[in-house]
């Protein structure tokens, strides 16, 4: 009996206005318009030819963030000549805008048959790229990495969050 009484009391204690069903879509007020200088996120995505262990200049710009170059190689440590610490892509950017830019990067690497060989993503850990600065970002490939050096092409996507 107590099991039925508690849910009934809960339903009776609710505010009647809160329990009313929502108005049909035709009668609902329109969503408030965006105000100020709010703009949608900036986005860039493009396919490029792949080259292993050499810097590839890129001529792309996204709201003042110039994407200068990218290179793919194995991360090694000079102290231990044969020690490898994973496969990476390194993206260099320059911020020519007046404000800080906070980019997010994604790289997908494919072979000549358009099979996916690896994916990496990343961006700034804290803050972003300040106006006038040039910065590099290391994107690490994990688990699926053995065929990346023999890739044919890659797609680079960049999204600004500010």
Q: What is the pLDDT of residue 41?
A: 74
Between the alpha carbon of residue 64 and those of residues 28, 44, 130, 153, the distances in Å are: 40, 12, 11, 26
**pLDDT values of the chain reduced to their tens digit, one per residue, 162 residues:** 445 545 554 445 555 444 445 545 445 444 544 445 556 679 999 999 999 999 999 989 999 999 999 999 987 666 656 656 789 999 999 999 999 999 999 999 999 999 999 999 999 988 899 999 999 999 999 888 889 999 999 999 999 987
- Domains in the chain, please, with CATH? 43-160 (2.60.210)
The reported pTM is 0.71
Q: In the beta sheet, which residues pair with residue 103?
A: 160
φ/ψ (deg, to 5) at 26: -70, -25
DSSP state of 31: P
Element spanning 17, H or E? helix 16-19
């Amino acid at each position: 009996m107590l099991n039925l009484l508690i849910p009934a009391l809960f339903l009776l204690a609710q505010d009647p206005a809160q329990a009313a069903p929502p108005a049909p879509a035709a009668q609902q007020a329109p969503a408030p318009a965006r105000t100020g200088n709010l703009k949608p996120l900036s986005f860039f995505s493009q396919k490029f030819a792949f080259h292993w262990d050499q810097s590839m200049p890129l001529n792309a710009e996204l709201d003042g963030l110039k994407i200068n170059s990218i290179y793919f190689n194995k991360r090694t440590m000079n102290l231990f000549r044969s020690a490898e610490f994973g496969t990476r892509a390194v993206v260099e950017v320059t911020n020519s805008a007046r404000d800080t830019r906070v980019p997010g990067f994604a790289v997908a690497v494919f072979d000549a048959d358009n099979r996916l060989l690896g994916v990496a993503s990343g961006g700034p850990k804290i803050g972003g790229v300040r106006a006038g600065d040039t910065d590099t970002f290391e994107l690490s490939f994990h688990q699926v990495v053995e065929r990346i050096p023999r890739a044919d092409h890659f797609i680079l996507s960049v999204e600004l969050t500010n």
